[in-house]
Amino acid sequence: MTILVTGGTGLVGARLLPRLVETGIGCRALVRAGKAVPPRVAVVEGDVLDPASLTAAVSGVEAVVHLAGLLRTSDARQIWQVNLEGTRNLIDAVKSHAPSARFVIASTGLVYNETSARPSLESDDVAPERDYPASKVAAEKLLRESGLNWSILRFGFVYGDGDGHIEQVPHIAQMLNLHPANRLSMIHHRDIATYIKMALSGLTDGRIVNTADEAPMSILELCAIAGKPMESSTAPLAHPWSGVVDGALGRSLGFKPEVATTWQAAREGVL
């Protein structure tokens, strides 16, 4: 199998590509000029915002794993350009040059309503107000209506393999004024690879799937792991299910986490 991965030099892609290569999958990465990729990954220079560069990238592939996205910027226009218009360009290229390819897109658990009365389900209505999750919902809709063979993976809080993401939690908690008892569904890079392989095999065709491990973590716990303990609180928690997704669908499709909890990752030294 030959696949195209966008965002291959990013937080997720750089850790995913070696794992896919190890399983014998032929990986092609769409990257900007001068960017390095892991060994045995074919480079195609281009950008999702440059439609002309996408023809060579998608030609002959059996699947596309679309990880490219923009989150950490205050430029709302750029977020929508990359996350929505970039996805539109890639969909158009696949429809024209690889119409039978599977198209797997990385989305986010941030799309869900923070006032949910339970862990969020894939079937829940979503209408986020912030630009990043709203642009992801719009990109999901484009893909679902494209006529392609699609899968949508809504990632929990991604961490592991020394990516430094958990170390950012104290700053995020302060910036968003999070309650120490707020919890986040977590997903280790190892298990993102598991979900991507499931998607490439067809197990998630035509589905939106929450990707999460077995134990959401509190902000209090994550700050402690990050080495910056947070003050505890007895104040009521307004939205107890905000940040928590229901992972039952993924489990029913056969998902078994290699890293079942963040505590396991800490014990094994793979945070």
**Arithmetic mean of pLDDT, 129-140:** 96
Distance CA 103, CA 54 (A): 14
Question: Is the pLDDT reported for residue 74 higher than 90?
Answer: no
Question: Is the pLDDT reported for residue 72 higher than 90?
Answer: no
**Arithmetic mean of pLDDT, 177-202:** 98
**Arithmetic mean of pLDDT, 86-108:** 98
Question: Is the pLDDT reported for residue 34 higher than 90?
Answer: no
Q: What is the pLDDT at residue 16? A: 98
Question: Is the pLDDT reported for residue 39 higher than 90?
Answer: yes
Tell me the pLDDT of the chain averaged across its residues: 97
Confidence of residue 134 (pLDDT cuts 50, 70, 90): very high
Distance CA 86, CA 94 (A): 12
Q: What is the pLDDT at residue 73? A: 82
Confidence of residue 225 (pLDDT cuts 50, 70, 90): very high
Distance CA 239, CA 266 (A): 27
Confidence of residue 244 (pLDDT cuts 50, 70, 90): very high
Question: Is the pLDDT reported for residue 196 higher than 90?
Answer: yes
Question: Is the pLDDT reported for residue 140 higher than 90?
Answer: yes
Give me the helix-helix angle, 189-200 and 13-22, nearest 10°: 60
Nearest to 271 by CA among 153, 158, 107: 158
